[in-house]
């Protein structure tokens, strides 16, 4: 697997990306019914269930090879560290020069999320309460 970090703007120049592009061309004529015919356990192999959430990607033109290449691309993008940075409130939204705080908006009351050493959750909880009052 390719694990060296690639700067975001050059991810399309990574080996992982180039392998995906090459594989896409070689599998241009894939037919979904053929994929199911070749793999009777396709639904089991290409779906995930977590509690009451089911993600079924068996009905996409996805192969084991494609999935492996997508995982290589995630490693090349250093996706795990980027997700950790987002949850930590680090500056990840470089176009706006601020953290992406989606997690704060969805967090339960009473939690803590720090940005620049300050817990931002009390302010978010206050705004959510005002929104409840208005609605």
From first to last of its 135 residues, what are the pLDDT tens digits of the chain? 344 444 555 889 899 999 999 999 999 899 999 999 999 999 999 999 999 999 999 999 999 999 999 999 999 999 999 888 888 778 877 788 878 887 888 888 788 888 888 888 899 889 888 999 998
pLDDT at residue 2 in the model: 42
Check: CB of residue 78 under 8 Å from CB of residue 85.
no
pLDDT at residue 131 in the model: 92
**Rounded Cα–Cα distance for residues 68 and 86 (Å):** 24
pLDDT at residue 43 in the model: 97
Let me know if 2 is exposed, middle or buried by CB neighbors in 10 A (0-12, 13-18, 19+): middle
Phi/psi for 49 (5° steps) reads -125, 130
**Hey, CA dihedral for 20, 92, 128, 106, is it positive or negative?**
positive
Burial 119-132 (b: 16+ CB within 10 A, else e): ebbeebbeeeeeee
pLDDT at residue 44 in the model: 96
CA dihedral 122, 125, 130, 135 (to 10 degrees): 180
Neighbouring-strand partners of residue 48: 55
Cα–Cα distances in angstroms (integers) from residue 126 to residues 48, 110, 119, in the given order: 36, 12, 13
**Rounded Cα–Cα distance for residues 39 and 33 (Å):** 10
């Amino acid at each position: 697997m390719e694990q060296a970090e690639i700067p975001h703007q050059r991810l399309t120049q990574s080996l992982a990306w180039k392998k995906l592009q090459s594989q896409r061309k070689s599998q241009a004529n894939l037919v979904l019914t053929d994929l199911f015919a070749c793999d009777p356990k396709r639904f089991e192999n290409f779906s995930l269930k977590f509690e009451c959430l089911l993600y079924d990607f068996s009905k996409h033109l996805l192969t084991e090879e494609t999935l492996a290449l997508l995982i290589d691309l995630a490693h090349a993008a250093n996706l795990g560290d980027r997700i950790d940075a987002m949850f930590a409130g680090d500056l990840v939204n470089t176009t706006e020069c601020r953290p992406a705080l989606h997690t704060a908006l969805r967090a339960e009351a009473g939690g803590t999320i720090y940005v620049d050493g300050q817990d931002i959750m009390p302010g978010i909880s206050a705004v959510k309460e005002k929104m409840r009052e208005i609605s």
